[in-house]
Structure 1
Amino acid sequence: MRVGITVPNFGPAATADSLRAWAAVVEDAGFDFLMVGDHVAATPAVTAAYPGPFWEPLTLLGYLAGVTRRVELGTTVLVVPYRDPLLTARSLAGLDQLSDGRLLVGVGVGWADDEFAALGVDARRRGEITDEYLRALIALWSDDVVSFAGRHVAFTDVDTRPRPRRRPHPPLWIGGNGAAARRRAVRFGAAWHPLRTPAGWLRTTGLPGLRAAAADAGRDVPALAPRVVLHPTAERRPDDDRLTGEGRPDQIRADLDELRALGATHVLLDTHRDAEAARGDDHAAQRALVEDAAGWLAPS
């Protein structure tokens, strides 16, 4: 099981120097991958949860590809309806090429209605737009010249080169916790990427739901690659009142052991707590937490 870190690409502390330091910590501490979040329009709903400035993820990953050597780089999650799939496919293919095939593509449908409005996208149709755009992305990564005809996007004889380095394309992780996300993961994803789930929920609810969705579709069950919090506490937390990855270090280590036993191929750790914390200059403290955690996160 590979373990990664969410790099907070938002808030006053998210300077270019800080983001470069994050990449160095993730790589030097021995983690396997890093991921960054996505927002295009920093509307009030967005900044209430993720204070500005907010770095555009594909631009940032291009930079981080140049200052890292080993770790994989990805999005958690790229909001598919926000960008024309022609642009998204080309940007991600270029990132995969320039990073020597280190790209992971976590995707989702989005949630901020005012951000959709600012971008001129109908939030009520974000699920169907996402599904069609994903089909277009996969087509664009699958051949040198591609035509596509859909309800939301259509194009003819587009030269797609350079195509991604990884074939057939970079791994697609489908983000989201609900039934629709699980069905989308079965249809499109190399992995299901649930986000910040309650302790034990994946075992009791999430994975049974994923297996049922795969059985209904007559398809294989995708891999499990969750994003969980990294919130160590001094006191033990009750399991019925904590998130996966929250509690004493021994509880967090047990959570990772359970995810490994459940077959998770990747686990992404997220130090972000809330908007108030993100407004503070706490990136150095978060990086120190990550460096310390690297020593006690080994399998028990």
Structure 2
Amino acid sequence: MDFGIATSVTDEGIRPGVLGAAVEERGFDSLFLPEHSHIPVSRETPYPGGDLPPGALRNLDPLIALTAVAGTTSDLRLGTAVALMIQRDVFYTAKEVASLDLLSGGRVVFGVGAGWNVEEMRNHGVDPRTRGALLTEQLQALKEIWTKDEAEFHGTHIDFDPVFAWPKPARKPHPPIYVAGGGRASLERLAAHADGWLPHAVTPPEELRRVRSWLDDRGRADVRISVFGAPADPELVRGLAGAGVDEVSFLVPTLPEAETLEHLDRLKKILEPLRQE
């Protein structure tokens, strides 16, 4: 099983390049960063995990932060968990992700989700009722742009005639796409269009096993399961391994540099024995 770090990089915490180098030096395999363009002051939809994480108010753009990380690392996988694709322009996203993948030597893991903050997506002109269908078409269009010299796509929400769009990603055929969400529509999107699943750490092991079996039955045994936002609990990690999880990213709070490095050192000490099991 691979181990990663999930955290928010903000203007008040450790710089992304320093963070990435520290994560890689301590033997972690990946770094996942979240995305919010903004947080509306008034929200009708509460944060699913309870209190809104402080980092959500001040997080840097994940693709720009991960570009800084790419410059101080050589092997670390660079992930989004998750990019709010429905709030993004598909052409700019294709170019930005491909540029990061090219500059990093093919290390991008593009994790996406349909989002939870209704006010935020409405500010982007997105209808919350159709966000799932929009995300599905965006993923299809991204693949066309990344893999075709003359890409075109014709759908209900995304529609364009043939275009030229470079650079192409370094990873072939394209950076792996991971999707979040455990509902029926999300899992259908996963099986049809994605390379990995990003369930939250609170997902019960029996549900992880059920989805793994369901994917196998759909001919998608190749899908990676990457649980994100987990606490450093050895028993939890053992349970996730038994449920067929391929990777776990551990939650690190947004802290200044010295405190972050200390936190990473403690995590390494807790997790090292698990790597030997």
Q: TM-score, normalised by structure 2?
A: 0.87
**1:3 aligns to what?**
3
**2:149 aligns to what?**
144
* Deviation string, structure 1 residues 255-283 (Cα, Å, up to 9, x no partner): 222323333222111134xxxxx6xx566
Distance across 1 between alignment mates of 2:215 and 2:81: 22
1:271 maps to which of 252, 264, 277: 252
* Conserved? CA contact 1:186–1:214, under 8 Å: no
**2:30 aligns to what?**
33
* Conserved? CA contact 2:9–2:15, under 8 Å: no
Distance across 2 between alignment mates of 1:99 and 1:81: 25
**2:210 aligns to what?**
208
Which amino acid is the alignment partner of residue 3 of structure 2? V
Please provide the CA RMSD for this pair: 2.2
Deviation at 1:139, TM superposition (A): 1.3
Distance across 2 between alignment mates of 1:261 and 1:187: 25
* Conserved? CA contact 2:208–2:243, under 8 Å: no
* Conserved? CA contact 1:42–1:54, under 8 Å: no
Which amino acid is the alignment partner of residue 256 of structure 1? V
Distance across 1 between alignment mates of 2:209 and 2:134: 26
Q: Judging changes above 3 Å, is the alpha-carbon distance between structure 1 residues 119 and 174 closer, same or farther for their aligned structure 2 residues?
A: same
* Deviation string, structure 1 residues 78-132 (Cα, Å, up to 9, x no partner): 1110112111111111110011111111111001011012111111111110111
**1:225 aligns to what?**
226
Q: What secondary structure does 2:109 align onto? A: strand
Deviation at 1:213, TM superposition (A): 5.9
Deviation at 1:40, TM superposition (A): 1.2
1:257 maps to which of 222, 238, 243: 238
Count of paired positions: 265
The answer to whether residue 269 in structure 2 is matched with residue 288 in structure 1 is no
* Conserved? CA contact 1:78–1:106, under 8 Å: yes
Distance across 1 between alignment mates of 2:53 and 2:242: 33
Listed as ranges, the matches of 1:1-300 within 5 Å are 1-10=1-10, 13-14=12-13, 17-44=14-41, 45=43, 49-51=52-54, 52-198=57-203, 201-202=204-205, 204-212=206-214, 215=217, 218-221=218-221, 222-230=223-231, 245=232, 252-272=233-253, 284-298=258-272, 299=274, 300=277
**1:249 aligns to what?**
none
Q: TM-score, normalised by structure 1?
A: 0.81
Q: Judging changes above 3 Å, is the alpha-carbon distance between structure 1 residues 283 and 181 closer, same or farther for their aligned structure 2 residues?
A: farther
Deviation at 1:214, TM superposition (A): 5.8
Stretches of structure 2 lacking an aligned partner (at least 5 in a row): none
* Conserved? CA contact 1:229–1:271, under 8 Å: no
Q: What secondary structure does 1:148 align onto? A: strand
Deviation at 1:136, TM superposition (A): 0.6
Distance across 2 between alignment mates of 1:129 and 1:210: 25
Q: Judging changes above 3 Å, is the alpha-carbon distance between structure 1 residues 206 and 266 closer, same or farther for their aligned structure 2 residues?
A: closer
Which amino acid is the alignment partner of residue 138 of structure 1? K
Query: What is the percentage of aligned positions where both structures have the same residue?
Result: 28
Distance across 2 between alignment mates of 1:214 and 1:160: 35
Stretches of structure 1 lacking an aligned partner (at least 5 in a row): 231-244, 246-251, 273-277
Q: What secondary structure does 2:15 align onto? A: helix
* Conserved? CA contact 1:25–1:291, under 8 Å: no
Distance across 2 between alignment mates of 1:140 and 1:207: 34
